[in-house]
Amino acid sequence: MKFSVDRGKAEFIEVYSDYYNVIFGAVCSRINSIDDAEDITQEIFLRFYRKMDEVENPRKWLFGTMKLVLYEYYRSKKPDSTDINDLINDASLSFVNGMRDLRILLGSILDDPDVFNNDDKNRIIFDLVAIQKYTLEEAAKEIGMSRDQVKYRYSLINRSILLTLKKKGVSNLEELM
């Protein structure tokens, strides 16, 4: 029996464990079949495993590859479709004028690692709890933390987002709601 674990495999397993729920959930929200979503998620992580050495930011890479694999999926399902990009649409297109600008601003804040204290775990907590509506307990189980740890981190993230919005000149948040 071989008792050694290569470092690359260990890193992959950690990234996989951190992002599997986030990616699978994101794929699910874009297609109707859970079986296809599972296959697509597998394909994304398989590609990640093969390219891992070249990847600097796993989250960015995984979401970028998700779009690519979804594109391939739609192409295989609907080869006649003229604009597949419509299927992977950008929600900001549904907003107009100032609201669209606000959405773009909020999107850029959510993409800013500084807002999450440059901690991937914080971003994953936010993805699971705020975006995908996991409970704190569920999120804690998936990322290997206690519920209290997740709750504490989540409160810090929310505060950081609001502070950043204020710094960008968006002060009357309650009115926006």
Query: Minimum CB separation from other proteins for residue 133, in Å?
Result: 4
Nearer to other proteins, 27 or 82 (CB): 27
Q: How many CA atoms lie within 13 A of 25 on its CB side?
A: 16
Nearer to other proteins, 82 or 107 (CB): 107
Nearer to other proteins, 80 or 114 (CB): 114
Query: Minimum CB separation from other proteins for residue 55, in Å?
Result: 15
Nearer to other proteins, 84 or 145 (CB): 145
Query: Minimum CB separation from other proteins for residue 80, in Å?
Result: 28
One-letter-per-residue 3-state SS of the chain: CCCCCCHHHHHHHHHHHHHHHHHHHHHHCCCCCHHHHHHHHHHHHHHHHHHHHHCCCHHHHHHHHHHHHHHHHHHHHCCCCCCHHHCCCCHHHHCCHHHHHHHHHHHHHHCCHHHHCCCHHHHHHHHHHHHCCCCHHHHHHHHCCCHHHHHHHHHHHHHHHHHHHHHCCCCCHHHHC
Query: Minimum CB separation from other proteins for residue 124, in Å?
Result: 12
Binding region for other proteins (CB under 8 A): 1-3, 5, 7, 9-10, 13-14, 16-17, 20-21, 24-26, 28-29, 34, 38, 41-42, 45-46, 49-50, 91, 94-95, 99, 102-103, 106-107, 110, 130-134, 138, 140-147, 149, 154-155, 157-159, 161-162, 173-174, 176-177
